[in-house]
């Protein structure tokens, strides 16, 4: 209950109480919490104060709202760094998550012009296209699409990629070690096909990370596009000067 004799403001006390109910699991991820009116009655605060507290918890990614349905407990976001530092799968496993990878397809195709340009290839050269879906605790978390010049990894289509990370296969089996990485990160609405694979609604926010990866001779050998579920993961970047 709130301590009205405490120097801590009542809105701050309420915020701490609600955070504790979430952290303890009393309010489980995905569950609906009491309405503003119900919280007002429970704690004897104005509706405006309760709304202020809930807005702050939404900003902290602890809660989310659904129009016309109410306020719900958000799933805890997984913090990872860019795979340029360390493979996503390895990062997740180091944090104790159970992961698995499903290879959706691996084939040899003529590259779209945009891919050929990024890989500095003539459009007549073919590329190995690899599509993988990664799961964390049996929930889809990211969708990976990679393009690798066929001439630089000719037997890649036979590689076992559900158990081995692609970056490890490229380095150990084909001598393609990443030395230079150019990255872009944008927020995009989920296209219908990607939404179905990631088990989100079309238009839901996704993080799209694009990477052009080059070897020591600065020749690009992989173009990667990774869709991350915006409600389940966040990417952290650290720099030193």
Torsion angle in degrees (nearest 10) through CA of 135, 211, 153, 133: 10
Spatial distance between the Cα atoms of 9 and 223, rounded to a whole number of angstroms: 52
The CATH architecture assigned to 78-236 reads 3-Layer(aba) Sandwich (3.40)
Give the 3-state secondary structure of residue 56: helix
Across 198-215, b (16+ Cβ under 10 Å) vs e yields: bebeeebebbbbebbbbb
pLDDT score recorded for residue 236: 65
Low-confidence ranges of the chain (pLDDT < 70): 77-89, 91-93, 95, 236-241
Tokens in use for 121? 């290839």
pLDDT score recorded for residue 60: 80
CB 57 within 8 A of CB 34: no
CB 153 within 8 A of CB 170: yes
Alpha-carbon separation of residue 156 from 12, 164, 207 (angstroms)? 56, 12, 27
Question: Please, which residues have CB within 8 angstroms of residue 105's CB and are 6 or more apart in sequence?
Answer: 129, 130, 131
Spatial distance between the Cα atoms of 152 and 87, rounded to a whole number of angstroms: 21
pLDDT score recorded for residue 85: 57
pLDDT score recorded for residue 81: 62
Annotated domain spans of the chain: 10-73, 78-236
Tokens in use for 16? 């701490």
| Cβ neighbourhood burial of 218 (10 Å; 0-12, 13-18, 19+) | exposed
pLDDT score recorded for residue 210: 93
CB 15 within 8 A of CB 45: no
pLDDT score recorded for residue 165: 87
Spatial distance between the Cα atoms of 150 and 11, rounded to a whole number of angstroms: 60
Whole-model pTM above 0.75?
no
Q: Has domain 10-73 been given CATH number 1.10.10.10?
A: yes
Phi, psi for residue 90 in degrees, rounded to 5: -65, -40
Spatial distance between the Cα atoms of 7 and 13, rounded to a whole number of angstroms: 10
List beta partners, residue 148.
128
pLDDT score recorded for residue 231: 80
């Amino acid at each position: 209950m709130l301590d009205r004799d405490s120097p801590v403001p009542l809105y701050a006390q309420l915020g701490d109480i609600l955070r504790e109910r979430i952290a303890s699991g009393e309010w489980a991820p995905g569950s609906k919490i009491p309405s503003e009116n119900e919280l007002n009655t429970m704690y004897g605060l104005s509706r405006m104060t309760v709304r202020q507290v809930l807005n702050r918890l939404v900003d902290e990614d602890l809660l989310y709202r659904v129009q016309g349905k109410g306020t719900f407990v958000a799933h805890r976001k997984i913090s990872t760094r860019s795979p340029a530092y360390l493979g996503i799968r390895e990062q997740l496993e180091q944090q104790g998550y159970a992961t698995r990878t499903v290879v959706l397809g691996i084939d040899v195709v003529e590259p779209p012009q945009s891919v050929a340009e990024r890989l500095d290839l003539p459009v007549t050269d073919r590329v190995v296209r690899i599509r993988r879906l990664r799961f964390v605790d049996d929930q889809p978390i990211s969708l990976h699409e990679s393009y690798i010049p066929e001439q630089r990894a000719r037997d890649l289509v036979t590689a076992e990629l559900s158990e081995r990370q692609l970056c490890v296969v490229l380095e150990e089996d084909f001598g393609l070690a990443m030395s230079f990485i150019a990255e872009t990160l944008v927020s995009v609405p989920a296209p219908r096909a990607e939404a179905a694979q990631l088990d989100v609604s079309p238009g839901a926010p996704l993080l799209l990370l694009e990477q052009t990866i080059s070897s020591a001779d600065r020749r690009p050998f992989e173009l990667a596009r990774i869709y991350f579920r915006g409600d389940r993961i966040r990417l952290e970047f650290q720099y030193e000067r």
